[in-house]
């Protein structure tokens, strides 16, 4: 069947229900805290692309019918990808919503909670799940199950999946399997993404069509920024609690790359981020990792350091989340391949986390980890363990915990702290 689809002879239907029945529902933040992008998939296109919402599950008193749809046909895929926007949201509020069309059908009712106005503070910590390199197959089952439980318990506010999303690798039906698999998570909390190398098929077409990130498609959803939370005190030196900067580390030839256009954009975004107490950057390929020998590693690391490391350093970025290597590790504060400090208090350079361990068909990288003799790596590289991260941001502390997916036990923990 795969060869038949690749040859363009067979068709690969996206969906399991009626032709215009929505599935694969997921949401994402915009640059405006009062908005939420909503995306879904149907087999056949619909005349409208509507999201209805309200604070009462039985009374949707708000409707947006000016959504859009798009499609692609690579490797025989058949389906339509819809997007619409919820507006006028209030902070710290539960909302209910349904998507669909009058000429088709509407989905079941989903729910999400907006972030508190001071999210990322002591009063309302921001809790972000970090996953990378997570595929559609059974090796991600434990990660998905753990994250689903946390979402249902209201213990996660946002998910960041920084590349290698589904491991479809051109088999477009596997995208659909993955998006159905993560719907219990991604329909309830914003699911923020960046592209990985496994998305490069057909110039990232599936990724570009399936996701709408805070750039609203202006950079094909590959790189963007957004802020979360306002400080509790009007006398605070900052006007944002956390600023997120998403990076595109990919190219059409499956090698590390950042365009001059993107670098220039990041310079402006990072300058604007100076009003934030915390700055978190994320992208797929690592600038730093101790486990060498993977695809385009370590050569690609040097390419990315040359492209963006100086800007990250000068902008006082606190944390850089990476993936691509199928393990988990963290650095000490490091710049220009030199150890800056073995302390995470008032760090003067970024801390780099590798977190590509959420589970995929390639398996996790095997020991030995810590193949680097560099002194900026603590001895905590965890290979051959499927895991996910959750970092919690408060006023002066960012706490990262890495969890074993099989049982939810803590694999590693560290705290970044600011004295002011």
Residue ranges for the chain with pLDDT beneath 70: 1-2, 5-8, 233-235, 365-373
Structure tokens at 335: 């710049």
Q: How far is CA 42 from the centre of its chain?
A: 23
pLDDT (0 to 100) of residue 218: 87
Contact between 270 and 317 (Cβ < 8 Å) = yes
Select from 264, 281, 295, 341 the least CA-distant residue to 130.
Answer: 281
pLDDT (0 to 100) of residue 232: 74
Placement of tokens 């025989």 in the chain: 76
C-alpha–C-alpha distance, residues 85 and 179, integer Å: 19
Contact between 342 and 358 (Cβ < 8 Å) = no
Quickly list DSSP for 195-250: --GGG-HHHHHHHHHH---TTTTTTTTSSEEEEE---S-TT-S-SEEEEEEE----
pLDDT (0 to 100) of residue 378: 84
Instruction: Specify the 3-state DSSP secondary structure of 1.
Output: coil
């Amino acid at each position: 069947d795969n060869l038949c689809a690749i040859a363009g002879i067979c068709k690969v239907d996206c969906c399991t229900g009626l032709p215009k029945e929505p599935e694969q529902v997921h949401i994402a933040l915009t640059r405006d805290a009062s908005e939420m992008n909503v995306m879904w998939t149907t087999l056949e296109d619909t005349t409208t692309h509507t999201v209805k919402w309200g604070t009462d599950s039985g009374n949707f008193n708000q409707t947006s019918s000016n959504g859009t749809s798009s499609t692609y046909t690579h490797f025989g895929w058949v389906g339509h990808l819809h997007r619409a926007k919820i507006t006028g949201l209030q902070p710290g509020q539960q909302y209910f919503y349904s998507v669909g069309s009058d000429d088709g059908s509407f989905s079941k009712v989903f729910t999400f909670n907006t972030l508190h106005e001071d999210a990322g503070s002591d009063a309302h910590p921001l809790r972000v799940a970090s996953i990378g390199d997570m595929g559609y197959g059974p090796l991600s089952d434990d990660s998905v199950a753990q994250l689903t439980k946390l979402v249902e318990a209201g213990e996660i506010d946002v998910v960041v999946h920084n590349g290698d999303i589904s491991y479809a690798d051109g088999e477009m039906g596997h995208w659909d399997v993955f998006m159905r698999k993560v719907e219990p998570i991604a329909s309830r909390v914003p699911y923020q993404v960046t592209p990985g190398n496994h998305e490069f098929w057909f110039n990232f077409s599936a990724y570009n069509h399936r996701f709408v990130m805070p750039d609203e498609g202006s950079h094909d959803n590959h790189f963007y920024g957004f802020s979360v939370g306002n400080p509790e005190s009007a006398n605070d030196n900052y006007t944002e609690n956390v600023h997120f900067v998403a990076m595109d580390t990919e190219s059409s030839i499956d090698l590390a790359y950042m365009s001059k256009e993107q670098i220039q954009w990041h310079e402006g975004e990072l300058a604007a981020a100076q009003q934030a107490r915390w700055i978190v950057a994320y992208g797929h390929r690592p600038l730093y990792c101790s486990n060498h020998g993977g695809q385009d590693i370590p050569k690609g690391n040097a390419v990315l350091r040359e492209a963006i490391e100086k800007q990250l350093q000068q902008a006082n970025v606190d944390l850089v989340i990476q993936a691509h290597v199928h393990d988990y590790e963290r650095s000490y504060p490091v710049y220009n391949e030199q150890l800056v400090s073995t302390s995470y208090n008032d760090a003067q350079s970024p801390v780099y986390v590798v977190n590509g361990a959420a589970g995929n068909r390639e398996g996790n990288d095997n020991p030995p980890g810590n193949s680097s003799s560099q002194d900026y790596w603590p001895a905590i590289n965890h290979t051959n363990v499927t895991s996910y991260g959750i970092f919690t941001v408060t006023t002066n502390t960012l706490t990262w915990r890495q969890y074993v997916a099989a049982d939810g036990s803590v694999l590693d923990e560290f705290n970044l702290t600011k004295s002011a």
